[in-house]
Structure 1
Amino acid sequence: MEGLPGMITDLDLLKQLQAGDEPAFKALYARHSRRVLAFAYHMTHSAIDAEDILQETFLRLWTGREQLPEIAHVGNYLFTIARNKTLDHLRKVALQHRLIDQVWANISETSNDLELQLEARESNALIQQALTQLTPQQQTVFRLSRQQGLNHEEIAAQLRLSKSRVKNLLVEALKHIRTYLSQHAVSLAILFEITHRHLIF
């Protein structure tokens, strides 16, 4: 696209973009958006996340148009921005999954570590919210298992249910809670950040 005779080049469009020309920006978007989107989707496996990365990449191009460095190949420059945006996204996702796993461990384990205890208290509100969406029987089985430490046989005897029924109820409850935590990973990350600040200060 940057050297074809009879066609305006990417570098020509870039010069117009630096002057605030919106049609030039739209032309660059039309030429390069599919490649950026395909890369982001390949890395994230999410159409929504890939679209967000695409928009952030071109927003960066537009908002930084007056301070653009010397660019030899516009496609490579956009790819570099998209790559960095994608890596930032993947780091955030990895952090969110790590936080979810920590809360998951706190559901079934008791720790003497002060930091883990604080994190468990901070995340308890989300767990309680998830519990309210369970059936009364699922809530009871979960609390007897994870909060009172009873095994399947003890729960079955107390509730007059079969052991297999208790196991199924617990599996359903745990699956729902983990899904709920995943859907609220951003809130969870904020809670953990607040907790860690309290520990430092």
Structure 2
Amino acid sequence: MKLPLDIERELIRKLINGDKIAFSHLFSFYKSQVLYYCVHFVKDKEIAEDITQDIFLTVWEKKEDIRIEQSFSAFLYTIARNRIYDIFRSLSARSVLYEKLMEQAIDYVDDVEKSLEEKNIQELIAQALEQLSPRQREIFELSRNRGLSHKEIAEQLGLSVYTVQDHIKNALEKIRVYLIPFISACPILVSLIILKYVKP
């Protein structure tokens, strides 16, 4: 499935100009395709998800290099192919890869928090929550602020546990996407920040 060319080019034009919403739309559309591509090579979904985040972080950082008239998917897969090649060249074992990514993330924690001095992390989280739908925010805050379990939230709102889990999963994904442009270290760090400052 492909985006209609006119819609894709409009989103790319906005992305080049630094529009985070356009970036979020492109991320949402292409993420599963890139993830599938990465899983095919690394054979580990969690590692592939980290690599996928890294790829889209690179897209954001290189947004000014994108050419509207060229294929965005080709641009995306070129980054993905190069990233995977670099990983296989430097690390031979998947377990070593994961440990390396985690070590890198931990090493960057202090640097990233310093880089966010002007944008308090709690403020960024609050802004990210504004991107959620009313229902997502309601469920997310019941989980985070009141510490309710998924079952308790489901009973309170008359929903299934699966629906609650799905809303929380989607909420975390939106928060992750919102934070990516603000983080200049590595994408796995987004997950660490969410774990540290958000308690779903």
TM-score by length of 2: 0.43
TM-score by length of 1: 0.43
Tell which has more relative contact order, 1 or 2 (C-alpha 8 A, sep 6+).
2
Tell me which structure has the larger Cα radius of gyration: 1
